[in-house]
Homo-oligomer: A and B are copies of this chain.
Amino acid sequence: MTGRVEQAAERLKALGHPVRLAILRRVVQGPEAGTPAGELQSRLDIPASTLSHHLATLADAGLVQVAREGTTLRYRADFGVLHALTDYIWQDCCAGGAAEPPPPSPCCDRD
């Protein structure tokens, strides 16, 4: 069983790489149905195997989800997980600190 702290750490680590941050940005700005891996590859101009590796890291962390559509795989961001992560930082990690946390994101309740 993976604890909450470990899960948050895994997700933060997954975000902690410039290429993966760039990937996520592209995925977020892409269509809601998901962005094909090939499109990410041509846009970011990195080898397909390297991209695939980073995508797997993001997917393993639960930050993005995959869906097959014929031969192409579409990746889309999981905003719920992303939200839970930033919430975690302020609610579970930094609660009780000297600074007021930001509001617990009452907006953005998709899924």
Contacts and interface: CB of A to CB of B under 8 A. Distances in A.
A28 interface: yes
A94 B110 contact: no
Interface residues of A, number: 44
Interface in A9-53: 9-18, 20-22, 24-25, 28-29, 32
This chain's copy number in the assembly:
2
Contact of A18 (B5, B94, B96, B98): B5
B103 A110 contact: no
A15 B16 contact: yes
Contacts of A3: 18
Interface string A81-111: 0110010011001111111111101011010
